[in-house]
Amino acid sequence: MSGRAKAAFLFLAILLVDQIVKLYVEAVMLPGESISVISSVFHITYVLNSGAAFGIFEHQRGLFLGVAAAFCIAFLGFYPRLRRSGSLIHYGSVALAAGAVSNMIDRMRTGHVVDFFDFRVWPVFNVADIAIVLGTAGVLWALFIQKRDLHR
């Protein structure tokens, strides 16, 4: 399988898993409802987040949609270069884009992002958020750690 095919699979897998889980949570839970998975440690909590990370910039739907659209256009424009920049940058960027697109779909569909992973010591988040964080970490690692190690 080519790198482009693997990237497409990764993108679609993140997008579909995130959207399917969100639709399931919406179908079986009410906003604010919480189900304990591991008492006092991990819950599934249905939260409608109208802001960005940690709920900042609440009710700025237009801003978030604009930023996400701009990011997607930039991603598509730079994709050929990203593909040649090494696996961490390539796949990290794909994961980041998939998470951004999935959260953008939520905002377009409902005006909110559906969050559900609740560890009670951190704000509630979703699969797309995990993809964004891991993708960003991979890109930053490649840019700053791997690059530094190559120049030693």
**Total domain count, the chain:** 1
Q: What is the pLDDT of residues 116-126, one digit of tens each?
A: 999 999 999 99
Q: What is the pLDDT of residues 126-142, one digit of tens each?
A: 999 999 999 999 999 99
Q: What is the pLDDT of residues 37-71, one digit of tens each?
A: 999 999 999 999 876 665 666 666 677 778 878 88
What residue numbers bound the domain in which 145 lies?
Answer: 3-150
CB within 8 A of 118, min separation 6: which ones?
A: 34, 42, 43, 44, 45, 47, 124
Which 8-state DSSP code applies to residue 125?
B
Q: Other C-beta atoms within 10 Å of 67: how many? A: 14
Q: What is the pTM of this model?
A: 0.86
| Catalytic residue set | 115, 129
